[in-house]
Amino acid sequence: MPSSYLYTDLSAYYDLMCADINYHAQSYGVRRLHQLFGNEGNAHLDLACGTGPHVRYFIDFGYQSSGLDINQPMLEQAKTRCPEAQFTLGDMCDFQVDEPLDLITCFLYSIHYSATIEQLKQCIVSAHRALKPGGVFCFNSVDKTKIDNTLAERHDLTREDSFFTFRSAWHYCGDGEQQSLKLSITKTTDGITQSWDDEHPMVAVSFEDLASLLQPYFDVHILEHDYEKIMPWDKSSGNAIFVCVKTLTPG
């Protein structure tokens, strides 16, 4: 099964799959971080933007916001949600922009779609190149050394005449630079159940190693994974927000 199976063929269900996500809180939280750590500009790019919910909020906050994603069906929905924004089909591991940016975001652990350490390095270089001095690259990440393969997230909802169950789980074998995100959807309508499953290969990295990759290009701040509070990472939790401020030249 191709790795884009769920997102390509079931892109219409993506917003339902993410219905429990507080996009406003995430967007507002990163806006605060940009105000604290970054410059005063408003040129913004959201990597792996999906159907554009974060872009919508940043536009409403007054940003000149745009999005990039590798999935065209997602971008078509994003254009409908944010007709005033520019959306680009492309790979976040190798992108360029026409004008330098003040803020680059990558929500929902999508930084891990870089798939390999080498591609992750390319993503970091692309983000550094695209930002103005003092610009911010902000994303959330999971530490491979703290993944519990027994845990999974689940939420259920009803839309029209169908009942949906969505599940997601991280899995890491304990060695190497590959982890996976396991996703499943079940849809029951009139007693008939359909199901779809997918497993996305994603880059596995510890926070220590991730910080080392970033530090030649950015001043790196690692914060607790809480978009409503600004607190330094306690070095024990497995999820964190990275706020990376562009230095003038790679160190």
Q: What is the mean pLDDT of residues 55-78?
A: 96
Strand-strand pairing, 218-224 and 239-246? antiparallel
**115, 226: one domain:** yes
**34, 93: one domain:** yes
Distant-in-sequence, close-in-space partners of 175: CB < 8 Å, separation ≥ 6:
none
Q: What is the mean pLDDT of residues 87-108?
A: 97
Q: What global pTM score does this model have?
A: 0.93
pLDDT tens per residue across span 122-149: 999 999 999 999 999 999 999 999 999 9
Domain membership of residue 231 as a residue range? 17-142+205-246
Residue % of the chain over a pLDDT of 90: 85
Q: Is residue 251 part of a domain?
A: no
Q: Is residue 188 part of a domain?
A: yes
pLDDT score recorded for residue 116: 96
pLDDT tens per residue across span 154-204: 999 998 899 999 999 999 999 999 999 999 999 999 999 999 888 889 999
- Transcribe 164-190 into DSSP letters: EEEEEEEEE-SSSSEEEEEEEEEEEET
Task: Give the CATH number, domain containing residue 97.
Answer: 3.40.50.150
- Total domains present in the chain: 2
Phi, psi of 190 (to 5 degrees): 55, 40
Q: How confident is the model at residue 20 (pLDDT cuts 50, 70, 90)?
A: confident
